[in-house]
Amino acid sequence: MKRLKIAALLAALIGASALVMDAEAAALDQFKTFVASTKSARGEFTQQQMKAGGGKAAAPSSGTFEFARPGKFIWTYQKPYDQLLQADGEKLYIYDKDLNQVTVKKLGDALGSSPAAILFGSNDLEKNFTLSEAGAKDGMEWLKAVPKTQDTTFEQITIGLRDGTPQAMELKDNFGSVSVLSFRKFEKNPPVSANHFKFVMPKGVEISQQ
């Protein structure tokens, strides 16, 4: 069940020169510079699901990520179990190694108003989100992004930035639960080959089309 919840969360998560930013710069300015100048990136993440009203809902998850705009990414959970979410710009593949199962979804317009669009989508974020400053906390400047459409599982997303790079994201769903993501070793614009995000179907897996 925990696997399905995390997979659903990440499925929902499916909407220049180097510039030295002042840590005190407004979050919106930092974020717009990041989006305009970052075509691809990779790094590590930790994810913690919080209960509505506070308290941890489960043990934290961790892994690695890679993305190339628009709509291509590899999100790999390494702990507490192996799970892969990969998008090639057209389809999303969710591979649960323990269950030996791959779920295939159309990426389509779902990326547009989802939290994933902030990292993986196009540069036209203000088409799908209302962006505003959310103040300073934990040594970061925070930006609030509220989806303009009602057809989303998330009420709001806040992004913590330092030196022009996202350091954290907090995703609040419509039931009051919060998922907190922390990023490390964030590398901007690494070289990426044309076929890097093409999913290779493992032999013998059960395939589910949605």
Q: Which residues of 159-184 are buried (b: 16+ CB within 10 A; e: fewer)?
A: bbbbebbbbbbbbbbeeeebbbbbbe
Q: What is the pLDDT of residue 144?
A: 93
Asked if 19 contacts 33 with a C-beta cutoff of 8 angstroms, the reply is yes
Selected residue with higher pLDDT from 110 and 185: 185
Closest CA to 166 of 10, 62, 45, 16: 45
Mean pLDDT of 108-122: 66
pTM: 0.79
Q: What is the pLDDT of residue 111?
A: 64
Worst-scoring range by mean pLDDT, 8-12, 35-39, 173-177?
Answer: 8-12
4 confidence band (pLDDT: 50, 70, 90): low
152 confidence band (pLDDT: 50, 70, 90): confident
Q: How many domains in the chain?
A: 1
166 pLDDT exceeds 90? yes
Mean pLDDT of 7-29: 52
Assign residue 59 the CATH number of its domain: 2.50.20.10
- Written as six digits, the tokens of 158 are 């806040």
Residues contacting 119, CB < 8 A, separation 6+: 41, 65, 67, 73, 166
Mean pLDDT of 159-184: 91
125 confidence band (pLDDT: 50, 70, 90): confident
Selected residue with higher pLDDT from 109 and 29: 29
160 pLDDT exceeds 70? yes
75 pLDDT exceeds 70? yes
Domain that holds residue 42: 2-15+22-209
